[in-house]
Structure 1
């Protein structure tokens, strides 16, 4: 379902319809996509703050 992160609503609908509303797959689909963006932004911020450590 991570590959379908561009289609968040579709990924959630498929996970819920296949595995049920109370399943771990539906929860992972929702939480995974919601956590993915802040983690990527944090990694970019860390890379920008430490770029002076590395030679060009």
Structure 2
């Protein structure tokens, strides 16, 4: 028995609150291990308007 809870946030606002600068290297990462990878993954999925998990 398990449960899953999705959290929905405004991505741009979240990155701004974290003081993350936009990246010019959009990349898909299997695992997010640091802030730079978060910014890269966000840019990768944001431009086509795709959801990511």
Normalised by the length of structure 2, the TM-score is 0.30
Structure having the higher Rg = 1
Normalised by the length of structure 1, the TM-score is 0.29
